[in-house]
Amino acid sequence: MSAAPGGGAQDMYLYYQISGAVNQVALSVSGANGTIMETACSAPIATTGATPNICPGGSHLANMLVFSQEGINSASVVFQTPPQNVYIFKDIGVSPSAPSTSGGTIASFTQSYTVNSGGGSGSGSEVPEPMTLMLLGSGLLAVGLMRHRTRTE
């Protein structure tokens, strides 16, 4: 996402839900003249109406704000009592002229969540991406077929 010098600012809104007992939310960004503002709520966030992009009464969990100046900047929040569902509103913006007048860009941003696994340790566990599972499954299938082939010969 970028904004050319002398051009207009770029802005994007994202809304989504995280299910499970969320322990931590973290955010980082790199680039120039970029800003990401994130609001976390325990109830769905309105996208229209009198109060769009604001947590309903009593459901506000956290706000994070990161700026993409000179390298990667990050923010995180840890919930003492993990909510079952977290609703996120993310406002991603790039300015062509503030604070630098040479244009703006968001080179990359990362978002991470730690979800309580329910195992009593309080730490989350990573789930392999689908492609990893597919490669592992096809590798096991190939080994099984080769083994079957050697037994029948």
Task: Please give the pLDDT value at position 65.
Answer: 92
Task: Please give the pLDDT value at position 90.
Answer: 94
Task: Please give the pLDDT value at position 99.
Answer: 76
Pick the CATH number of 2-119 from 2.60.120, 2.70.50, 3.30.160, 3.30.70: 2.60.120
Task: Please give the pLDDT value at position 83.
Answer: 92
Task: Please give the pLDDT value at position 53.
Answer: 93
Q: How far apart are CA 39 and CA 48, in angstroms?
A: 16
CB 18 within 8 A of CB 115: yes
Following DSSP, what letter does each residue of 100-152 receive, concatenated? -SS-EEEEEEEEEEEE--SSSS--------HHHHHHHHHHHHHHHHHHHHHHH
- For residue 86, the tally of other CB atoms under 10 A from its CB is 23
Task: Please give the pLDDT value at position 61.
Answer: 94
CB 124 within 8 A of CB 47: no
Q: Residue-wise pLDDT tens for the chain (153 aa)?
A: 777 887 888 899 999 999 989 999 999 998 888 899 999 999 999 999 998 999 999 999 999 999 987 656 899 999 989 999 999 999 999 888 877 788 888 888 889 998 876 544 455 556 666 667 777 778 888 888 888 777 776
